[in-house]
Amino acid sequence: MTIEIRQVAEETYAIDCGSDPIFGLRQVAYLLVDEMPALIDPGYTSSAARLLNNSAQLDLQRLSYIIPTHIHLDHGGGSGYLAQQIPESTFVFHPRGAGHATEPSRLIKSFRRVFGEQFEDSLGPVLPVPPDRIHVASDGETIRLGRRQLALHFAPGHAPHHLAIQDSLTGALFCGDALGYISDDTADIPFPTGLPPFDPVAYQRTIDKLASLSPKVLCYAHHGARNEVQRLIRQVKDLSTAFSDIVQKALDAGEDDKRISERILQYAKAYSSQKQLPIIIEASVSGYIAYFRSKKQPPQSTNESVT
């Protein structure tokens, strides 16, 4: 499969590696060309391999930094593979993700629940990143690449180990899944992405935090770069608020998960040009339900999930 490369800002390139065969998520990585080049959101191992197959065109062997916005399979699953193939690169992770990157056994267990037992057959194996190759991010710190600096911002909600990265040269914000998911079928509307464990309260705080950075471009990991910054941020916040309100009222009325899911999807379909929403949006409803249902139950001791 060939990749598509588009310049989206000064010395900034979106690399579209195509869609995965499970959720149909487009895999878009971003290459920032500078004295110390960086790659953001390398995606699955299969996507990372496609990137390297085009490394002569992209000059990826010179990468200084590889930065997954978070450690979910579709954003950082190929990190260990790239660590083997590009030995001089440094990997940047949120502190809650770094340990899982070096010892991915729990990650793999979580990925099997979400992507299926045989996910490695199509998406590639999840390999460890050597600890000495990892830089653990601090909230608000900057990494200098040359002409540009990358500011790292903790962005919890979709995942507790989520980073958002803003580029000083272009004002671009690499938002991962922190500002929703856009597909070609949803009329340019960014839908909240909330597979459990998901925290919609933290998600909305993150939306406000990232809006306060006044980004000039939003770089989505599953869609590409967009310039309608304020509209997109406003819409994802409005939808997240609406989803939360629907779930809380339905739970207060004693409705079951199936009926609550139907209510949210009926609301969401008003924003879509298709009768059927993308599967990732339908799956994300479960995160809202699980979160607000847990608030109505006594706390239980559970092992922390990494998804």
Residues 186 and 88 in one domain: yes
Total number of domains in the chain: 2
Q: Are residues 231 and 255 in the same domain?
A: no
Q: Which domain holds residue 261?
A: 240-294
Residue 130 has pLDDT above 80, yes or no: yes
Residue 305: inside a domain: no
Q: Is residue 254 part of a domain?
A: yes
Summarize pLDDT for 154-182 with one digit per residue, the tens.
Answer: 999 999 999 999 999 999 999 999 999 99
Q: Minimum mean pLDDT among 217-221, 228-232, 259-263, 302-306: which range?
A: 302-306
Whether 186 and 251 map to the same domain: the answer is no
pTM: 0.94
Say whether both 235 and 280 belong to one domain. no
Count Cβ atoms below 10 Å from residue 109 Cβ, excluding itself: 12
Residues 235 and 267 in one domain: no
Examine the domain organization and report whether 41 and 155 are in the same domain: yes
Structural domain includes residue 307: no
Q: How many CA atoms lie within 13 A of 223 on its CB side?
A: 25
The H or E element containing residue 219 is strand 217-220
Beta pairing partners, 288? none
Which of the residue ranges 71-80, 107-116, 243-252, 298-307 would you say has the lowest mean pLDDT? 298-307
Is the distance from CB of 194 to CB of 168 less than 8 angstroms? no
Domain co-membership, 80 together with 117: yes
Residues 176 and 93 in one domain: yes
**Whether residue 65 is found in the same domain as residue 153:** yes
Same domain, 208 and 117: yes
Determine contact, residues 213/171, Cβ cutoff 8 Å. Answer: no
* Contact status, residue 20 vs residue 123, Cβ threshold 8 Å: yes
Contacts of 87 (CB under 8 A, 6+ apart): none
Mean pLDDT for the stretch of residues 264-287: 86
304 C-beta neighbours (distance < 10 Å), count: 8
Q: What is the model's pLDDT at position 303?
A: 46
Query: Residue 60 has what DSSP assignment?
Result: G
Q: Which segment of 26-30, 115-119, 137-141, 245-249 scores lowest on mean pLDDT?
A: 115-119
Report which of 199, 207, 215 is spatially closest to residue 179, judged by C-alpha positions: 207
pLDDT in tens, 247-264: 999 999 999 999 999 999
Q: What 8-state DSSP symbol labels residue 293? A: H
